[in-house]
Amino acid sequence: EKDGYASFMLKEIAEQPRAVADTLLGRVAEDGTLRLDEARVRPEVLREARKVVVVACGTAFHAGLIAKYAIEHWARVPCEVELASEFRYRDPILDHRTLVVAISQSGETMDTLMALRHAREQGAHVLAICNTNGSTIPRESDAVLYTHAGPEVAVASTKAFLTQLVACYLVALYLGQARGSTDGAEIRAAVRELARVPDALERTLATMEPVRDLARDLADKRTVLFLGRHVGYPVALEGALKLKELAYMHAEGFAAGELKHGPIALVEPGLPVVVVVPSPSGHRLLHDKIVSNIQEIRARGARTVVVAEEGDESVVPYADHLVRVPAVPPLLQPLVATVPLQVFACALATGRGNDVDQPRNLAKSVTVE
Ligand code: M6R
């Protein structure tokens, strides 16, 4: 079943272009408008929601963090993102004008299920984003948008994450369409860009050899830090989570803007720091700020691994290792920038002799609290 791959994880990483394409399939009409009627979100909920609350765990939570940027941008609705395990024990302020989005690959994660029950009891409308047909979370939700990643066997989530991102972008655009906060031309442009992502992913996957070499090189390190800004911040968190769960290494993701507020004290000679650089064509100031962050950590001896868009020459002098990803619109960058971090964690774990499909102490779906 591994189709010649050494692990399910490698197979699932390679399947990402198809998974993304399948998740887009049938969801855009000929005229470029979004057709998510299958999800069955009531039109008045789309139009009148005063707030969106995303609940999820682990990697799905990172997808939710990225959803916030897209929802604020396209739908212009306030959006909160919550760890399901925290949300359910708080006293959140919800009502019938709250749209709760529960993201789960398996559809069986207990904390996410409890969070959505908690939300429904208070009258909120729940939309599930889920990869498993007929599982508990979609069954208990008011509406569901399925991701079409196909079965994900490896414990570490890869292709499901990318398809969760696609679903989140679609929901943000759908809300923008229903509320009139994004015009048709912008929706069509965004959808066209999404349709190009599978190709961009193929290109990314074809250039991963240096990432594997680098991982072998770093296999005996104790700590790796990850930095990002804007949508690159959750990507940094995801890169760190992958490394923890697969390589059993200490890894942490930070918002690069927080460096000076503490984390820079961790930097010492030889420490590998992976930096996800935002597109220079997006928010220029943000891009330039992260380039100066790279300079700062390098001046303190960090070994910089820089993930940057093709053609971004400004990072070249400060990158000990440069990983290129194709240029995509700034909000969509996580779709391509996550891939090298998955490959990195997988190769590093393999180099340490770990079983990447069944990491120690972990289960594919966490059905206990
Ligand atoms: O099935 P779910 O998406 O609800 O699972 C959530 C997390 O348990 C899951 O993403 C976990 O963090 C993965 N092992 C990450 O690779």
Q: Please identify, by atom number, the ligand 1 atom nearest to the C-alpha of residue 164.
A: 3
Sign of the torsion formed by the C-alpha atoms of 282, 288, 294 and 296: negative
Burial class (CB in 10 A: 0-12, 13-18, 19+), 120: middle
DSSP string for residues in 225-273: EEEE-TTHHHHHHHHHHHHHHHH--EEEEEEGGGGGGTGGGG--TT-EE
Q: What is the pLDDT of residues 38-97, one digit of tens each?
A: 889 999 999 999 999 999 999 999 999 999 999 999 999 999 999 999 998 999 999 999
The preferred substitution site among 135, 341, 366 for testing ligand 1, maximizing ligand atoms within 8 Å of CB, is 366
User: Between the CA atoms of 6, 10, 15 and 19, what dihedral angle is there, to the nearest 10 degrees?
Assistant: 140
User: Which has the closest alpha carbon to 157: 341, 354, 353, 361?
Assistant: 341
How far is 158 from 152, CA to CA, in rounded Å?
A: 8
Determine contact, residues 154/8, Cβ cutoff 8 Å.
Answer: yes
Q: What is the pLDDT of residues 193-210, one digit of tens each?
A: 999 999 999 999 999 999
Check residue 37 and give its pLDDT.
86
Ligand 1 centre and the CA of 63: distance in Å? 11
Q: Locate 351 and state its tokens.
A: 């180099």
Please work out whether the CB of residue 346 comes within 6 Å of at least one atom of ligand 1: no
Residue with tokens 């001896």: 301
User: Which has the closest alpha carbon to 132: 154, 147, 113?
Assistant: 147
Q: Please identify, by atom number, the ligand 1 atom nearest to the C-alpha of residue 160.
A: 3
Please work out whether the CB of residue 105 comes within 6 Å of at least one atom of ligand 1: yes
Q: Please identify, by atom number, the ligand 1 atom nearest to the C-alpha of residue 109.
A: 4
Check residue 364 and give its pLDDT.
86
309 has pLDDT over 90 = yes
Active-site positions? Answer: 364
Percent of the chain beyond pLDDT 70?
Answer: 100
348 has pLDDT over 90 = yes
pLDDT-derived band at 1 (thresholds 50, 70, 90) equals confident
Q: What is the pLDDT of residues 107-131, one digit of tens each?
A: 999 999 999 999 999 999 999 999 9
pLDDT-derived band at 369 (thresholds 50, 70, 90) equals confident
- State the pTM of this model: 0.97
The residue whose CA is least distant from atom 11 of ligand 1 is 58
Q: For 38, what's the count of Cα atoms within 13 Å in the CB-facing half-sphere?
A: 14
Ligand 1 centre and the CA of 267: distance in Å? 30
Determine contact, residues 81/65, Cβ cutoff 8 Å.
Answer: yes
pLDDT-derived band at 283 (thresholds 50, 70, 90) equals confident
Q: Which amino acid is at 224?
A: V
Q: Please identify, by atom number, the ligand 1 atom nearest to the C-alpha of residue 242.
A: 16
How far is 78 from 87, CA to CA, in rounded Å?
A: 17
Ligand 1 centre and the CA of 310: distance in Å? 31
CB count in 10 Å sphere of residue 311: 11
Check residue 205 and give its pLDDT.
98
Q: For 6, what's the count of Cα atoms within 13 Å in the CB-facing half-sphere?
A: 9
Burial class (CB in 10 A: 0-12, 13-18, 19+), 300: middle
Backbone angles phi, psi at 147, to 5 degrees: -90, 150
Q: What is the pLDDT of residues 5-44, one digit of tens each?
A: 999 999 999 999 999 999 999 999 888 889 998 889 999 9
Gyration radius from the chain CA atoms: 20
Please work out whether the CB of residue 59 comes within 6 Å of at least one atom of ligand 1: yes
Mean pLDDT of the region 325-338: 97
> Would you say the ipTM is above 0.90?
yes
Please work out whether the CB of residue 291 comes within 6 Å of at least one atom of ligand 1: no
